[in-house]
Structure 1
Amino acid sequence: MHRALRFLDLVHLLCIEIAGDLPQYGYGPGASRDLAALARTCKTFQEAALDLLWAHQNNMMVNILMCMPDDLWRVGSDGRRTLDITRPIGTSDWERPFIYMRRVKKFIYRDNTMPASTIFEMLDLAFPGDHLFPNLRFLGWNSDCAAASLPMIRIFLSPKITEIVLAIQSSIHHLSFLPTLAVKCRDMKIASIRCPITEVLRPTVIRSLSLFICGLGSLQTLFVYDLDQTAFIHLAHLRTLTSLEIGHPEGFNPSCGVPDEGIFLSLRNLRFRFVTPESLGHFLRPFGNSPLISLNISVTTDASTNPGLYSSIVENLSTSSRATLGQLTVSSNQPHVIGETMITPLFCLPYLTVLSLSSQNGFDLDDATLSDMAAAWPCIETLELRFTSFSLARTITPRATLRALQAFAHHCPKLRKLQVRFDASVVPEWDGTTVLGSLIGISINQSSISAPVPAVASFLSHVFPHLAYVQTCYWEWEGLGDVDEHELDDVVIHNRRWKAVERLLPAYVPKEDEDEDENDEDEASSEEGGAD
């Protein structure tokens, strides 16, 4: 045996390499077969291979049950074992399952992976230990659809659980479980609790959620629909909290009973959903001194317009927060078009790498404003100006043109994805100097195009030599076939023209870029030859 295989960490890494990437619900049949074969044929790799094989499984409970003696199961007429237990379970029946249950680190409850409730009740009564999976770290449980399944969760509540994703009903029976969960899993770091809230049950649901939150002292990430004032103050003083998402905040007053300083000092990621435009600043104020790197806000539809939406966000960020904020997402369905005066307050966030803005009626920006945007965000990697109603967007003629794209090529060297609407009726002359090598995709939000397709493709290829795709936000039904353009809708016509531009992009890539690619290939070949 090679001396390196004496290091357990190295053996574990080799097993991971053999199994490949881990999907969400565990390894597939191929990787599972490889790990099982490795465990059976090589003693050196046995423990590491079994650990990986059992850590994340899609059919977890069935595999555990199949480890028990064969005479526990009734054989059906088709020759298959069913889940009918034929005799009482003895202590010795658990010896083999114990070998594997300690390896389980992640369990996700799904109806098709659990035995019938009567079988599970018998397993629960007969189990000689405290926790079915004593080393469990992640528990996902959906009792929203199957209300009777929640009592089964007790035997899974290992004290080592650090992450839980729980969906329950807003019944007194389910809500009574939440405070107990905090007691049994005190080391929980990540919690996502989803529970439908009606106006009648809102006080009861929020109180139970808050009792759960206040029972945890080392939370790092939390998602809840709402919470009360007591829970909010508890979270404000948690030095461990780095990510917070509140789905429908109505049960607390963020500015009441909370000091101006010394709160949310570790918070990096903040998300609010369904906040009214008028209360936006109210909700953001307590987080003014948080070192935020990501802020995600969903604003509810309101009959009145709020031209100060973005300025309200900036005004409630401290100077230090403006310097740390790298990702900003704002979704709004307010019935108004976003123009220059609304968007300019965001220019004081110079370190943005991701900016995604959504508006029902879209954006009305000219070339000068887009140029200012490019100059204001030199670190930007993804910029999205989204429409949520394309039918309304079609009624607005964009003032921005292809010329504005040169500003992004000049000021934003890291930009890889761009979504913006513009008018492609005139193709400007390429200045010969502004070239952006990073941009690989552009989404043009049903932009009109009347300029010659080859001219547009040539311009885009010179400005963005690595541009690979043009997304039009339109899917064309194949049944349209080769219909004459005069018989088609404008959206279909523009979509076809932009797709023609996309196909022509490789033909217009500047020659020097092709030469660089060839040189890179030659150098790579030389290095390989030298290595040989």
Structure 2
Amino acid sequence: MHRIFCIPELVRLIVSYAACEEEHNTFDGAPHFSHEDSQRLLAGLARTSTIFTDAALDFLWGNIGYGPDVLFLVLRLLPQNCARLLLDNEGNVVSLVVDRPLVQSDWTRILWYSKRVKTYEHDSYWSASVHLRPLCLLFSTLPATFLFPNLLELSWCFQGEDDMQLSSRFLSPSLQDVWFSGDTRGVLWASTALAAQNHNLVGFSATCANGTSVEPDAFGAFLGSWKHIRSLRLPACTAKELRQLSSLAALTSLVLDTFVGPSKFLDGNRDARFVALKYLTLGQISLSTAADILPTTDKSPLEGVRLVGLTLPTTNTLVDLITGIIHSRTLNTLHIQVKGDSDFIAPVHSLTCIRHETLTSLCLCVDGGYLFDDVDFADWLPLVPMLQELVLAQMVPQSRLTLDALVSLAEKSPRLSSFGATLRVPHFPTLRPSSVRQARPQQETLSTLRVGLTDPTHLHEMAAFLSGLFPGLTTIDHGFVDTSPPGRQWKEVERWLDVIRRCRKEEQEWTLLLKTEGGRNTRLG
């Protein structure tokens, strides 16, 4: 044996080339294998030589995937005389039958492989009582504390007490990313149990079933101990918990589904809060609380802000809030959805306060008032030159944008690829193909359009109009409001767009052919 094979890092590098599936290839010059070919190569390496066995098995089991398949494969390693998996004709597990309690020697083979598993997702497939109770009985004899001691990623949907008992065998201290969902009691129990033995989490997400509430400060006992956490999602948050979060130096992404507490809660230097935060999503929150959380300095690394279910006392406060957010020079995404029962009734005559050189995605959804008229819209577009996605969703009666807004887009937003808005079309029947054929600016990058219209007629002319403005348009949807044309009518627009594109392509091909043939004839003559 060459001494090069005594270096574990080189052995793993050799094996990693066999694990390079086409969609996960990270090595320059590495071959591209399908998933099946990669699995066969790794299995062959594991059998070929003891030099490659450990490394090949690590890749095989480490990338085995999510879902019930992982546990299914592990349970198949059980001795035949102690437990049986009953399968249906399609190979699905119908029941798990435990014939006798397992002893330590029965687990030897399982633990040899299970220590290599890196990801596991426990979903409703294994949450049925026909599976859970036998599994709990089975794992009660496990000689180790955890079934997967080197697990890195865990996703668990809780549905009852059996889930809580079983999950304790999967809360390994090695975990880096965790997603808990479902029954509130199970989510809180598992979160507390995990925090007691794991202070090195990088990502944590907890969501609870619809209609359930979370006790105040349910996560406050352990949030401060996760010093390395970078991504965090909580179903609810209080002022006390938010104070702990604001001091986490590694936190770059924060999602709070709801906020419970007073609007003023943070004291001290605002610039010292959330120093690394790049992405922030706040749900069901008042404007004053949102303003208190958001950084106000242009040195903030904030790149994306999403405010969902925002309540506003007055219209002007929305402008004030946005003005504060866009101080961040690195901001590229801003999504704001104003709650339906908000007192947002006075018109916003202009949101030209949104001017930003790096903003690429803007979404504003309001139930009352209006965001722009055509003149404001045309004047505003040059202030956001990098926009690639723009959504302005509002009720039709309040909308002041017309088809002229689309012309402004074609003229002034060369990078936009997706646009959604509610448009008023008070004089759409006056649109004629002759006006469509007039010289119009063409915007090549727009591929997706979502619009709500007040008049669903003259769809053929609409298709020609859109095709003339946006030659790259491939997807069109019927907007945000009930008064929009039904989907089947927009399918008609899509069909006509298709016809127009094909005709245009054939015309270009014929023009090129005639030019070529004409050139040849000229030379021959």
Normalised by the length of structure 1, the TM-score is 0.76
What CA distance in whole angstroms lies between the structure 2 residues aligned with 1:491 and 1:118?
49
What CA distance in whole angstroms lies between the structure 1 residues aligned with 2:378 and 2:405?
6
C-alpha RMSD over aligned residues: 4.2
Q: Mean Cα displacement is larger for which, 161-170 or 467-476?
A: 467-476
Match of residue 379 from structure 2: 372
1:440–1:150 CA distance, 2 compared to 1 (3 A): same
1:379–1:209 CA distance, 2 compared to 1 (3 A): same
Match of residue 139 from structure 1: 154
Q: Does 1:155 align with 2:169?
A: yes
Match of residue 506 from structure 1: 501
1:218–1:50 CA distance, 2 compared to 1 (3 A): same
Residue 297 of structure 1 aligns to a residue whose secondary structure is strand
Equivalent AA in structure 2 for residue 192 of structure 1 = S
Match of residue 143 from structure 2: 128
1:355–1:9 CA distance, 2 compared to 1 (3 A): farther
Residue 218 of structure 1 aligns to a residue whose secondary structure is coil
Native 8 Å contact 1:357 1:384 kept in 2: yes
What CA distance in whole angstroms lies between the structure 2 residues aligned with 1:452 and 1:112?
47
* Deviation by residue 1:32-51 (Cα, 9 ceiling, x = unmatched): 76555444445469436523
Match of residue 328 from structure 1: 334
> Which of 475, 478, 487 matches 1:472?
478
Residue 104 of structure 1 aligns to a residue whose secondary structure is coil
Q: Does 1:384 align with 2:388?
A: no
Deviation at 1:275, TM superposition (A): 1.4
Native 8 Å contact 2:414 2:444 kept in 1: yes
Q: Spell out the pairing of 1:461-500 with structure 2 (5 A cutoff).
A: 461-473=467-479, 495=490, 498-499=493-494
Deviation at 1:369, TM superposition (A): 1.9
Q: Does 1:441 align with 2:448?
A: yes
What CA distance in whole angstroms lies between the structure 2 residues aligned with 1:513 and 1:430?
17
Deviation at 1:211, TM superposition (A): 0.9
1:54–1:285 CA distance, 2 compared to 1 (3 A): closer
What CA distance in whole angstroms lies between the structure 2 residues aligned with 1:13 and 1:91?
36
* Deviation by residue 1:430-466 (Cα, 9 ceiling, x = unmatched): 7747322111121121353555734x44443333221
Residue 294 of structure 2 aligns to a residue whose secondary structure is helix
Q: Does 1:312 align with 2:316?
A: no
Q: Mean Cα displacement is larger for which, 35-44 or 133-142?
A: 35-44
Match of residue 50 from structure 1: 60
Match of residue 466 from structure 2: 460
What CA distance in whole angstroms lies between the structure 2 residues aligned with 1:433 and 1:508?
19
What CA distance in whole angstroms lies between the structure 2 residues aligned with 1:237 and 1:350?
30
Equivalent AA in structure 1 for residue 167 of structure 2 = I
1:512–1:76 CA distance, 2 compared to 1 (3 A): closer
Residue 226 of structure 2 aligns to a residue whose secondary structure is coil
Match of residue 481 from structure 1: none
Match of residue 100 from structure 1: 113
Deviation at 1:169, TM superposition (A): 4.5
Match of residue 268 from structure 1: 278
Deviation at 1:357, TM superposition (A): 1.3
Normalised by the length of structure 2, the TM-score is 0.77
Deviation at 1:174, TM superposition (A): 6.7
- The share of aligned pairs that are identical, in percent, is 19
Match of residue 404 from structure 1: 405
Aligned residues: 480
* Deviation by residue 1:318-373 (Cα, 9 ceiling, x = unmatched): 73x1x211001111224656855252222x23321111111225746332122123
What CA distance in whole angstroms lies between the structure 1 residues aligned with 2:75 and 2:486?
57
1:177–1:255 CA distance, 2 compared to 1 (3 A): same
1:271–1:289 CA distance, 2 compared to 1 (3 A): farther
Native 8 Å contact 1:137 1:161 kept in 2: yes
Equivalent AA in structure 2 for residue 157 of structure 1 = L
1:285–1:452 CA distance, 2 compared to 1 (3 A): closer
Deviation at 1:160, TM superposition (A): 1.1
Q: Mean Cα displacement is larger for which, 244-253 or 282-291?
A: 282-291
Equivalent AA in structure 2 for residue 126 of structure 1 = T
> Which of 28, 45, 66 matches 2:76?
66
What CA distance in whole angstroms lies between the structure 2 residues aligned with 1:492 and 1:177?
44
Equivalent AA in structure 2 for residue 498 of structure 1 = V
Residue 315 of structure 2 aligns to a residue whose secondary structure is coil
Residue 385 of structure 2 aligns to a residue whose secondary structure is coil
* Deviation by residue 1:235-256 (Cα, 9 ceiling, x = unmatched): 2121100011111111365543
Native 8 Å contact 1:310 1:345 kept in 2: no
> Which of 86, 90, 95 matches 2:103?
90
Q: Does 1:238 align with 2:248?
A: yes
Deviation at 1:227, TM superposition (A): 2.7
1:432–1:141 CA distance, 2 compared to 1 (3 A): same
